[in-house]
Amino acid sequence: MSAPFLLTYATLARAAAIWDDQAEVLRGGHKRLTDARSATGALGDRVAPVAERYLDTWLAQATTLAEAAQGRSVGLTSFMRSAAYFDASAAADIRAMLPWSERDLSGPMGPPRLVVPSPSPGPSPSPTPGPQP
């Protein structure tokens, strides 16, 4: 079981914003790659099919990474609006989505404060971590 850790809403909000921003950047990159994909005919008959396969690979990867980033942002945002208590498994999920340096916050924090593991039975909604790349 993971050690207990303290978590502020500010940390969650910052992590959600980071994931959201990166999802937008990756979708922007995807858009330019889509433009490139539409122009492969200019490379000639021999090269175009190879270029399309190459671009399709990275279009798919850009989509995967963007969707994963967006999913994590949504998951963290949803979590902030949900439970005050969560179990060790959910805590590990959350920790995995935070900036590395903020996984073990223990300094002064403003309310509300979340403490794991859950001290009492009750609903323990797991956050939605989003699809893994």
Partner 1 sequence: MTAIARPVAVPELTIEPGARSVASGVRACAVAMSDAGDVMRHQAAPAGFEGDPAEIARHAMTSTADDVQAAVAALQVGVAALDAFCDETEQIRSDRIDLATRHGHLVAAADDLERRQSAAEPAAGLDSEIGRHNGQVDTFATDVAAWEQRITRAEDRLVSALRSADSTAEADRLATSAPDVPGLTDELDRVKNDPAAIYTWWKGLSRAEREALKIARPELIGNTDGIPIADRDEANRAQLSALHNTLEQREADDELTDADRDLKDKIAAIHQGLDKAADQFDENGDPLPTYLMVFDPDAANGDGHAAIAFGNPETADHVSVNVPGLDSTMDTFDGVSGDAAAVREAASRNGNGSVASIAWLGYDAPDFDASVDGIRDGLGVAGEGKAAAGAKNLSDFVDGLKATRQGDGPAHYTAIGHSYGSVTVGTAAGGGMRVDDVVLVGSPGAGGKNPHASDLHGNVFVGSSDEDFVTHLGGDDRRLLGADPAHDDFGGTRFKVEPQGEFSLDGDGLKAGIENHTSYFDDADQMEREHRGERDSDSLVNIGKVVSGRGDSVDEVSPRTESNDAWWLKQAGQSWLDRHTSHRGG
Q: Which residues contact partner 1 by CB under 8 A?
A: 18, 20-22, 24-33, 35-37, 39-47, 50-51, 53-55, 57-58, 61-62, 65, 68-69, 72, 92, 96-101, 103, 129, 133
Distance CA 112, CA 126 (A): 18
Q: Whose Cβ is closer to partner 1: residue 119's or residue 133's?
A: 133
Q: Whose Cβ is closer to partner 1: residue 90's or residue 98's?
A: 98
Question: In whole angstroms, how close is the CB of 29 to partner 1 at the nearest point?
Answer: 3
Residue 26 half-sphere exposure toward CB, CA atoms < 13 A: 19
Distance CA 59, CA 89 (A): 33
Question: In whole angstroms, how close is the CB of 20 to partner 1 at the nearest point?
Answer: 8
* Closest to 112 in 3D by CA, of 91, 90, 81, 72: 81
